[in-house]
Structure 1
Amino acid sequence: MVEEMNNEMTTFESRSEGDVVTGTITKVEDKHALVDAGYKVEGILPISELSSLHVEKMEDVVHQDDELQLKVIKVTDEELVLSKKEVDADKAWDNLEDKYDHHETISVEVADVVKGGLVADLGVRGFIPASLVDRQYVEDFSEYKGATLDVKIIELDRENRKVILSHRAVQDEEANKEKEDILGRIESGRVYEGTVQRLTDFGAFVDIGGVDGLVHISQLAHQHVEHPSDVVQEGASVKVKVLSVDRDNERISLSVKATQPGPWERAAEQLDVGDVVEGTVKRLVPFGAFVELIPGVEGLVHISEISNRHIGTPDEVLEEGENVKVKVLDVNASEKRVSLSIRELEDQSANEQPAIQYEDEDNNGFSLGDVIGDQLKKLK
């Protein structure tokens, strides 16, 4: 009889803590499952040892007759406690460490939305902090639950069972690659259509197809610009010419004024000798006054051409900032020179004073001829 009992005992395998065994689910309860693991007592798989994530019901994860790899976490003659999450974790850590070392991108399904971020099941609990979910600010994370995201492992601590993931890192990597591609295609000297992204005191940043270039304030217009907002506004479309591309430092220098006719080109088209135009006195010098006719184009009114009377200095007649009418005497766009005169307009005005006009008939019905005729008759 004793011999038969000993033979029966030998049909069960011995178990030790840390052993990985293959077991079959024999019964599923709400908070645990019973497992046939070839031991003298049925093993227990608690719900807490089912997954690294929170599980509401056992049947959401395991079913009767499922065959699982499980780790022994407690064993006595009367009790065998098993863990699925420990086996999953061991496999996962080896896999995660390899992917972390090789900076690989992995796909994960968001299992839950928690305070501060998202949780994913990697065999171990992976956490995506809110700041690493997206490049843009996210107001509501609920739409991410159940979504599949490509992520990078940015922190891995096996001892403390800590895995930090980042979807933003993948987005940044893709954006940088796209930026490199765009930088590789941009050519110096070419003109592009761009959008003003933001203004600073020293210029404007313009998006030209996915990368931003800087239009320095000196390149915004041919005339002097006090602040970029005087010339362009955020969101506006502008044509820009690429001055230079520094691919190593990802810097692009752009120019708006290089796409526009220069002020002297416009002067050659708009000003002709003899034209009378209005301008603003910009500067007074001992030998005359400089009058701005077109933004960036100033003409000289020599002191001898300021007035038809003799003056000692231009400020006897003119003030800086004053608007005046001038006559164009000469235009030399290639030498950036325009000669002007105010005196000629004064002379012209004097010569054009109207002569006294007499009416043929006054209000009484008498004409000048009638009066003179009467006088002549008396003399005769």
Structure 2
Amino acid sequence: MTIRDLTSAENPELWAFLESLHRGELLSGTIAAIERFGVFVALDAGPDHPVFPGVGFITIPELSWRSFEAVSDVVRVGQRVSCEFLQFDTWNLEARLSLRATQADPFQAYADRHAVGQKLRGQVTKLVPFGVFVQVADGIEGLVHLRELEGAAVEAPLDGVQVGDEFTVVITEIDRERRRLALSRRLVRSDH
């Protein structure tokens, strides 16, 4: 059987179950399989899937608000989970789920407690061509753009900056919608 064969006529119980679900509904189940593209969940209330190891599916971005290296850092096969139903994927005949929707967004909580202009200590986590990422709290990183690293007279602002370095930064922007934090090291230095 191929995915194209998964029609409502050939799988009436599965189709009826998936159509009965509502966006935002909480569903419980067990992690059935971990793949590089996501996680299959065997739902407690749902029928078996004719092809996949579970009728529920969580994409990688929907696993956690925090960044992670490996899916196994977030879930493991056999683990019990409660997820929010997002949509009925009629192509694969599966319930698209979100594990992170059941958790508080740490960025929004951080944004509630911090303001533009506030000074923070942070640690460099990544160097990129356009600047550096600095972790300012558990799971919260912000970008210090090249132009915000040092004064304009510096020709190679990344020289001497390494992952693990700690320094003080100033919050220049909090973008709640895109979950982005802009930081400046230059403004700290011009304070003196």
Question: Could you state the TM-score of these two structures normalised by the residue count of structure 2?
Answer: 0.65
What is the aligned partner in structure 2 of residue 216 from structure 1? 59
- In structure 2, the residue matched to 1:238 is 81
Please state if 1:192 is matched with 2:34. Answer: no
Q: Detail structure 1 runs of 4+ shifted over 6 Å in the superposition.
A: 345-348
Q: CA, structure 1 residues 261+231, in 2 after alignment: closer, same or farther (shift >3 Å)? A: same
Offset at residue 281 of structure 1 (A): 3.7
Cα displacement string for residues 194-222 of structure 1 (whole angstroms, at most 9, x for unaligned residues): 33222222211123323330112232123
Choose from 279, 283, 286 the match for 2:127: 283
Q: Deviations over 1:50-97 (max 9, x none)?
A: xxxxxxxxxxxxxxxxxxxxxxxxxxxxxxxxxxxxxxxxxxxxxxxx
1:330 maps to 172
Deviations 1:269-304 (A, max 9, x none): 343442423232423436x43324353642325545
CA distance, structure 2, for counterparts of residue 215 and residue 291 of structure 1: 29
Corresponding residue number in structure 1 for 2:52: none
- CA deviation vs aligned residue, 1:326-347 (integer Å, no higher than 9, x gap): 2323342246342232773797
Give the whole-Å Cα distance in 2 for the aligned partners of 1:249 and 1:318.
47
Assess, with a 3 A threshold, how the Cα gap between structure 1 residues 282 and 249 changes in structure 2: closer, same or farther.
Answer: closer
What amino acid does structure 1 have at the position aligned with 2:102?
A: T
Q: Structure 1, residues 12-62: CA drift from partner, whole Å, max 9, x if none?
A: xxxxxxxxxxxxxxxxxxxxxxxxxxxxxxxxxxxxxxxxxxxxxxxxxxx
- Report the equivalent of 1:259: 102
Bigger Cα Rg: 1
Instruction: Tell me the secondary structure at the aligned position of residue 189 of structure 1.
Output: coil
Listed as ranges, the matches of 1:90-239 within 5 Å are: 179=14, 182-211=17-46, 212-239=55-82
Greater RCO (CA < 8 Å, at least 6 residues apart): 2
- Structure 2, unpaired ranges of 5+: 1-10, 47-54
- Per-residue deviation, 1:224: 4.7
CA–CA distance in 1 between the matches of 2:91 and 2:181? Answer: 43
Q: Secondary structure at the match of 2:108?
A: helix
Compute the displacement of 1:226 (Å): 4.1
Q: Structure 1 213/304 Cα, relative in aligned 2: closer, same or farther at 3 Å?
A: closer
Q: Secondary structure of the residue that 1:254 maps to in structure 2?
A: strand
Gaps of at least 5 residues in structure 1 are 1-175, 349-380
- Equivalent residue for 2:6? none
Q: What residue identity is the alignment partner of 1:326?
A: T
Q: TM-score, normalised by structure 1?
A: 0.37
SS of aligned partner of 1:316: coil
* SS of alignment partner, residue 315 of structure 1: coil
Q: Distance in 2 between matches of 1:265 and 1:197?
A: 31
- TM superposition shift of 1:232: 1.0
Distance 2:60 2:149 in 1: 36
Distance (whole Å) between structure 2 residues aligned to residue 220 and residue 246 of structure 1:
18
Q: Deviations over 1:343-368 (max 9, x none)?
A: 737976xxxxxxxxxxxxxxxxxxxx
Higher helix share: 1
Contact 2:56-2:97 at 8 Å conserved across structures = yes
Q: Secondary structure at the match of 1:243?
A: strand
The answer to whether the 8 Å contact 2:19/2:88 transfers is: no
CA contact (8 A) 1:283 1:291 kept: no
* Percentage of identical aligned residues: 22
